[in-house]
Every structure is written in C-alpha cells, then in structure tokens.
Amino acid sequence: MSAVSARLPVFPWDKLEPYKATAEAHPDGIVNLSVGTPVDPVPELIQRALVDAADSPGYPTVWGTTALRDALAGWVERRLGATGVGHRQVLPVVGSKELVAWLPTQLGLGAGDRVAYPRLAYPTYEVGARLCGATPVVYDDPTELDPAGLRLLWLNSPSNPTGRVLGKDELTRIVAWAREHGVLIFSDECYLELGWEAEPVSVLDAEVCGGSFEGLVAVHSLSKRSNLAGYRAAFVAGDERVLGELLQIRKHGGMMVPAPVQAATVAALGDDAHVAEQRVRYAARRAALRGALAGHGFRIEHSEASLYLWATRDEPCWETVAHLAELGILVAPGDFYGTAGERFVRVAFTATDERVDAAVKRLGG
C-alpha cells in the first residue's frame, strides 16, 4: 500500500467507471447526472471582463485587487445580510475545493486535533483532515459533539448531497455552542443562491452571528451561480484574525487567483441578472427530473436547495446506479457521501435541456 492510499480514501468517482461505460452504450448516448459540473455558457459580461484583463503579465496578489476586495465585501453585505464587512474580512481562493482540502493543513492542525463534518457530506472534508493527520469526526447535530480537541467544525448548508438547508434558528444555536467551546466554524455555502423550497441563510447573517464574525468563516464559490467552475473562482469571508493567518500562509504558498479571473469575479458579483436567468434554467430541469423520478418509483428526500435531488428506491444505492445505467443515465451513489447514504443516489440537474429531456423519456415521463 502506498503512503497516499494509506492516508486517503479511494477517489470515489473511479468506482463509477464500469457504470459509465454501460450508460455510454445506450443507443441515444449517456445522460450524465453524476456530477455538478455546469454545462451552460459563461455569461457574456464575465467572458468580456476576462478577455479585457488578458494582458496581465505581472504576478497577481494573493489578497486580490482593490476592485476585487470591494466586490467581495459589497456582495457579502448585500447578499448575505452581513454588516461591517471590510477588506480584511474577505479573501479570494483558487476554487473552493482547494480551500476545503488544504484548510486544516493551513490552519496548522495535525495529530490529536479533530475535524468535524456532517454524516452525509462532500468527501473532501474528510480528505482535508486526513491530509494533515487530524482525526475526522462525523455528526448528526454538531452541538452533541465532545468539544475536546475539536479544532474545526464544517457546516454545509445547502447540503451536498442532500440539499438540506439549516434554518436561521438552528444556525444561531450552533454558532452559540461553537463560541462557548472555542470551536472554529467554516460554513460551506457554495449553493446558497440555489434555494428552491427554502431560503438558505449564511452563518454571517447579522441575526445568526449577532453582528460579529468571531470564530466564523463562510466559503463561497462562483462555479454554480455563474457557471464558472472552469475559472476556479471562489472566496472566503468572516473572522479577520483567521483570514489574516490564511493570507500569510497563502502568500508563502503562492496561492494566487489569476488576474483575469479576479476581473471576471468582479463582473460576476456585480450582476444579478445572469444568476436569475440560470436559476430559471435549473428550476425547469429540476421540476422535470423530479417528476420523472417520482413516476419511476423514486422517493425524494430533502432537496429543498442545491443542484441535486436526493433520491431512493429503498434498495442498495449501487443497485439503483446499475438500474439507471441500463437506461443510459449515470448518477452518483449515496455512499460516496457516507454510509448513511447507502440506499440513496444523488441526481444532478446540471445537464443540458436536451439531455434532461432524454432522461425524462427514459424514465417513462
């Protein structure tokens, strides 16, 4: 066994390859609903900002341009209900997955420290803990955790994979508990602008945090809201002390968002119209797939937000994956996100209208 495989779980999507081959053999081709990769065009105003900044021969700064920090701070106040946001409360990062994977290491965590995340969760929370030698811990309710040695608490609302949203009262209760025990919260809110049957709330909302960012950092991405997965555009906002430490570490590591991407981010955060247009596309795809899955015998749980439907036929998830692969539809097995998901599949609605229509027809819709 290699040193890497001893530390880390198997990269989950590798296990899907045989089912992908089955789905690809369908006469009308595969409908890949297994990943949340955007398929719609990058909005024109964002492309234009990127091109206009293409002549950027010098090194960008890790902290970002003044225009970028203005845009980040302004968006956090306007969209998240936060108050008093300045340049020291925001920091651009090279995509949110990089941040999640390397955060425990950058925070100086290691053996003897504990990192907690939801029982059903994005696998990279566990990976980040293991990379630095910390102990990963799962929870159903974080306030029931033993706080001893707990250095980092991940929240994820809206949830990947379930789409569950933590309400304002629940977030307020968790924040109070974490502060009482000196536990740092990082709240992954990358799907916050994709609420369908619930209105997601940020941990930085003044009513949740009491107007103070102490011990709190929110993680945001432009991949989903603006179709910018290929740009690796993301940022964190919150506790000035924590972000200041991360800034120094990231300077040493050369973790710089490319200058054209910084300019594109400014354009993206300054425009709400393209976000509303994309929401309309996703809402239509979500409704079509939800109806077709229900008609095919699936039960949908949670899924009140995000880009996924958390679906079950009350059978082992790999049996469901195999069944759908025979129809040319590829989905993600629920056990990718923890053993609690072993009878569910995650169905993304990040496919073109034509492919979603094909899936609906194959499901009998």
Question: What pLDDT, in 10s, does the model give residues 275-294?
Answer: 999 999 999 999 999 999 99
Domain housing 62:
44-269
Average pLDDT over residues 111-139: 97
Please tell me the distance from the alpha carbon of residue 6 to that of residue 22, in angstroms, as a whole number.
Answer: 31
Which tokens in the block code for residue 71? Answer: 């845009």
Percent of the residues in the chain that have a pLDDT greater than 70, as a whole number: 96
pLDDT confidence tier of residue 8, bands split at 50, 70 and 90: low
On whether the CB atoms of residues 157 and 189 are closer than 8 A, the answer is: yes
Please tell me the distance from the alpha carbon of residue 337 to that of residue 161, in angstroms, as a whole number.
Answer: 7
Structural domain total, the chain: 2
Q: Are residues 105 and 167 in the same domain?
A: yes
Residue 328, phi-psi category: left (phi > 0), alpha (psi -120 to 50), beta (remainder):
left
Of the candidates 340, 314, 344, the residue with the CA atom closest to the CA atom of residue 331: 344
Q: Are residues 329 and 227 in the same domain?
A: no
Q: Which residues contact 146 (CB under 8 A, 6 or more apart)?
A: none
SS3 of residue 90 by DSSP: strand
Please tell me the distance from the alpha carbon of residue 235 to that of residue 237, in angstroms, as a whole number.
Answer: 7
Which tokens in the block code for residue 44? Answer: 């024109």
Neighbours of 292 (CB within 10 A): 20
Burial class (CB within 10 angstroms; exposed 0-12, middle 13-18, buried 19+) of 234:
buried
Q: Which residues contact 31 (CB under 8 A, 6 or more apart)?
A: 23, 328, 329, 330, 351, 355, 356, 358, 359, 362
Q: Are residues 94 and 239 in the same domain?
A: yes
Average pLDDT over residues 320-329: 98
User: pTM (2 decimals)?
Assistant: 0.95
**DSSP letter at 286?**
H
**DSSP letter at 103?**
H
Q: Are residues 89 and 160 in the same domain?
A: yes
Please tell me the distance from the alpha carbon of residue 173 to that of residue 189, in angstroms, as a whole number.
Answer: 18
Q: What is the CATH number of the domain that holds 216?
A: 3.40.640.10
The 3-state secondary structure of 157-177, one letter per residue = CCCCCCCCCCCHHHHHHHHHH
Q: Are residues 105 and 123 in the same domain?
A: yes
Identify the domain boundary among 240, 269, 298: 269
Residue 5 has pLDDT above 60, yes or no: no
On whether the CB atoms of residues 159 and 120 are closer than 8 A, the answer is: yes
Identify the domain boundary among 269, 302, 336: 269
Q: Are residues 243 and 311 in the same domain?
A: no
Q: Are residues 225 and 89 in the same domain?
A: yes
Residue 348 has pLDDT above 70, yes or no: yes
pLDDT confidence tier of residue 9, bands split at 50, 70 and 90: low
pLDDT at 1: 45
Amino acid sitting at position 258:
P
Identify the domain boundary among 269, 297, 322: 269
On whether the CB atoms of residues 36 and 307 are closer than 8 A, the answer is: yes
On whether the CB atoms of residues 191 and 200 are closer than 8 A, the answer is: yes
| pLDDT tens per residue, range 161-190 | 999 999 999 999 999 999 999 999 999 999
Please tell me the distance from the alpha carbon of residue 364 to that of residue 71, in angstroms, as a whole number.
Answer: 46
On whether the CB atoms of residues 355 and 35 are closer than 8 A, the answer is: no
Half-sphere exposure in the Cβ direction for 265 (13 Å, CA): 34
Greater pLDDT, 178 or 5: 178
Distance of CA 92 to the CA centre of its chain: 15
Q: Are residues 112 and 205 in the same domain?
A: yes
Q: Are residues 208 and 280 in the same domain?
A: no
Of the candidates 243, 260, 212, 261, the residue with the CA atom closest to the CA atom of residue 94: 261
Amino acid sitting at position 228:
L
Of the candidates 193, 201, 194, 236, the residue with the CA atom closest to the CA atom of residue 216: 236
Please tell me the distance from the alpha carbon of residue 118 to that of residue 125, in angstroms, as a whole number.
Answer: 9
User: Chain-wide mean pLDDT for the chain?
Assistant: 96
Q: Are residues 115 and 253 in the same domain?
A: yes
For the chain, first and last CA: distance in Å?
47
Residue 342 has pLDDT above 60, yes or no: yes
pLDDT confidence tier of residue 10, bands split at 50, 70 and 90: low
Q: Are residues 302 and 167 in the same domain?
A: no
Average pLDDT over residues 22-43: 96
| pLDDT tens per residue, range 55-101 | 999 999 999 999 999 999 999 999 999 999 999 999 999 999 999 99
Runs of H (alpha helix) within the chain = 3-7, 17-24, 44-52, 66-80, 96-106, 124-131, 168-181, 206-209, 240-253, 259-269, 273-295, 317-326, 353-362
Percent of the residues in the chain that have a pLDDT greater than 90, as a whole number: 95
How far CA 120 is from CA of 102, 150, 180, 310, 337, in Å, comes to: 20, 19, 25, 11, 5
Residue 205 has pLDDT above 60, yes or no: yes
Q: Are residues 208 and 331 in the same domain?
A: no
